[in-house]
Each structure stands twice: as C-alpha cells, then as structure tokens.
Amino acid sequence: MSARSEPGHPAPRGSAEVLRATYHGGVPLVIYTVLRLALFGGALGLLYLAGLRSWLLVGVAAVAAFALSYVLLSVPRDAAARWLADRRARRGAGTGGSGADADAAHEDAIVDRATE
C-alpha cells in the first residue's frame, strides 16, 4: 500500500494524528486522574520520609491527596466534568435515545404478548 492518497480517498493518517483529531489535546479525565495519582504518590512519599509507617501511612496519604486535589485541581476537575458531559450529550444525540429505553420497550412488548 502506498503512502500517497488516491483521488477521492483521504491520505492515511497515523495513530497519533487520529488520537489528536479525536481528543483535541488529550482526555481531561485521564489528565485529572494522573494528577490525582501523582498527588497521592507525593503525599505517600513525604509522609514516609516524615516517619509515618504501616496502614496509617496509606490512610493519611489518601486523605491528604483528597484535600490537596480538591483545592489544587479545580480546573482539571471542571475540564473532566465538562468533557464527560459533552461526551454524554454527543452519545445521546447520536442515538436518538438510550439503549435502556429500547430494551425496556422490547421487554414490555414481550410481556404484553405473553399476557394476551
């Protein structure tokens, strides 16, 4: 297969180009998750160096990371929430309804036929 594009057919794109075109700068949910995990790892490391050990280390690090992410990561959190809402709206608009509604209508039809 040649790298040239044929008339009427677009040129093949690499996987990196497809991802950039699909996600326009990354997936905010993944970015937010990675930042939260980094905060947890940083809190875990600092508390370990401070001398905290055993199960208490993980618990205190989790609470500290939660508090820090609430204060420091409001912009990525809002971007992730917006991205999820947009994605949900696109999925709902494209199908004309949810799959659960179609399943429920199908089940209702089966029950109605069975009770006749």
Q: How many CA atoms lie within 13 A of 27 on its CB side?
A: 8
pLDDT of 44-56, one tens digit each? 999 999 998 889 9
Angle at 109 between CA 103 and CA 115, to 5 degrees: 135
Residue 16 is predicted with a pLDDT of 55
What the block records as the tokens of 96 is: 């004309």
Q: In this structure, are residues 78 and 72 in contact, taking their beta carbons and an 8 Å threshold? A: no
pLDDT of 97-106, one tens digit each? 556 777 888 8
Phi, psi of 97 (to 5 degrees): 165, 170
DSSP state, 11? P
pLDDT of 6-48, one tens digit each? 455 555 455 555 545 555 667 899 999 999 999 999 999 999 9
Q: Where are the domains of the chain?
A: 15-115
Higher pLDDT, 71 or 18: 71
The identity of residue 14, as a single letter, is: G
